Structure 1
Amino acid sequence: MGAVTSIEELDAAISSCRACRRLVRWREKVAAEKRPSSRDETYWGRAVPGFGPPDASMLIVGLAPAAHGANRTGRMFTGDRSGDVLYAALHAVGLASQPTATHIDDGLTLRGVRITAPVHCAPPDNKPTVTERDRCRKWLDTELRLLKPTLRSIVVLGSFGWQSLLPVLGSNGWEIPRPRPKFGHGVELQLGTVRLFGSFHVSQRNTFTGLLTPSMVEDVLRAAGSHAGLL
């Protein structure tokens, strides 16, 4: 296909991507076998595009779709417990229209915020390979290029997203300090017109153990939203 010139074209292109054989096999296997509680549902079972307005001033970067979350519903962080935490926090600070995300037609909208990931297919054990991440990089690169005119803040959920994002930011004209900044919860980094915010990922492992609390997520989102002029 030719050069992608809009977020709508990007989302459509991502949805039809079959570049990584292992991930395609896995996402389709999960979609066919399903989990018992979702056996009557039709799974998305494809690569999951980003979610949010095409002129977002704030971007949230995660890891990859969950097998029975976004791989089932077709929307980032929708239908799983990680999404429960993230969308509740976005709603609490005034950036989401409702605190829950259950399915793609549930009426949820985001205000000035877009959500994406370095890997757009659900990986086995939630662990994409470096090769898969690098093969998927073109989508994140294109998304940043399209969002650059309006983008003012980025929240990165977890070290995988941080490590994946920095070189893509660099290739799109943002100067990355050397040595490369390390990830950490609460880390902030100004890169020209964009401010980067680090947060632990909203995974069950982090939220169930108390490593990440709802108030911690809200604090990061509030800071990023304020910097982006949304709050």
Structure 2
Amino acid sequence: MDDDLAALDLRISECRACPRLVAWREEVARVKRAAFADWDYWGRPVPGFGPPDARLAVVGLAPAAHGGNRTGRMFTGDRSGDVLYAALHEVGLASQPVSTHRGDGLELYGVRVTAPVHCAPPENRPTPLERDTCRTWLVQELALLRPTVRAVVVLGAFGWQAALPALAAAGWTVPRPRPVFSHGARVRLEPTVPGAAPLEVFGCFHVSQRNVFTGKLTPAMLREVLTAAATEAGLRPATEPRGGPADAQGRQA
């Protein structure tokens, strides 16, 4: 499974399916932001991050022009990532509270972080066509995680709208009408593939700068959802903020 997921990550990083996104990500990588003038920007689709046997997946719109598009890691190099990885660390699911670049030593414990769209879009707004075009990658990733994944945290309404069809295509039954997104939403998906396990899906407001600055999403709210999902997934989240791993399985730098 390691090799399969690594191969998928490589194929994702080479994707050129959406002309608008290709042009934007490469232009940003060429022009750069003055503060990052000395960086060699990634400038490609950003693959998921975390172990191939993760029991918990976090799915949300992630690659930012000067964040993931610069660093090449999901939710890395921008304030959204600062919030997400700090929370994962506080509940014992990450080795450190910050994610700055691919070689910074960060490990995730039993968690894989991915996105419904792997390229940084202009104004952080992918089109419906771009979302649907990129869905094939999310479907394949979820299918590879299917033997071990037991819970999914979906960040934001956009992620929810993209993740549910992907989960249906990857081997789980999504109720009809489809569950409506809300912070704290929770739905159980039964498997459609023999031998697969049920999946608990949790909704959470996105870790965007706007949501955090306005107080729509607080660190405590995020930790609460992550803790509930980790518990459902069979991980061992910390009952109090701490720095150790929640689970000894599935570590990946």
TM-score by length of 1: 0.97
Distance in 2, Cα, partners of 1:182 & 1:217: 19
Q: CA deviation at 1:49?
A: 0.2
Show the counterpart of 2:39. 41
Show the counterpart of 1:227. 232
- For residue 162 of structure 2, the aligned residue among 161, 164, 189 is 164
Structure 1 regions of 5+ residues with no counterpart? none
Distance in 2, Cα, partners of 1:49 & 1:179: 31
Q: Map 1:146-225 onto structure 2 (within 5 A).
A: 146-192=144-190, 193-225=198-230
List per-residue Cα deviations over 1:150-197 (Å, max 9, x = no partner). 010000000001000111111222111111100000111111211000
Q: CA deviation at 1:63?
A: 1.1
- Counterpart code for 2:209: Q
Q: Secondary structure at the match of 1:67?
A: coil
List per-residue Cα deviations over 1:103-151 (Å, max 9, x = no partner). 1100000000000001000000000001111111110010011000101
Residues matched between the structures, number: 227
Show the counterpart of 1:28. 26
Distance in 1, Cα, partners of 2:219 & 2:95: 18
- Tell me, yes or no, if structure 1 residue 8 matches structure 2 residue 6: yes
Distance in 2, Cα, partners of 1:64 & 1:87: 13
TM-score by length of 2: 0.88
- Counterpart code for 1:37: A
- The answer to which structure, 1 or 2, has the higher relative contact order (CA under 8 A, 6+ apart) is 2
List per-residue Cα deviations over 1:65-89 (Å, max 9, x = no partner). 0110000000000010000000000
Structure 2 regions of 5+ residues with no counterpart? 191-197, 237-253
Distance in 2, Cα, partners of 1:197 & 1:114: 15
Q: Secondary structure at the match of 1:151?
A: coil
Cα RMSD over matched residues? Answer: 0.8
Q: Secondary structure at the match of 1:134?
A: helix
Distance in 2, Cα, partners of 1:8 & 1:94: 25
Task: Tell me which stretches of 4 or more aligned residues in structure 1 moved more than 2 Å.
Answer: none
Distance in 2, Cα, partners of 1:218 & 1:99: 13
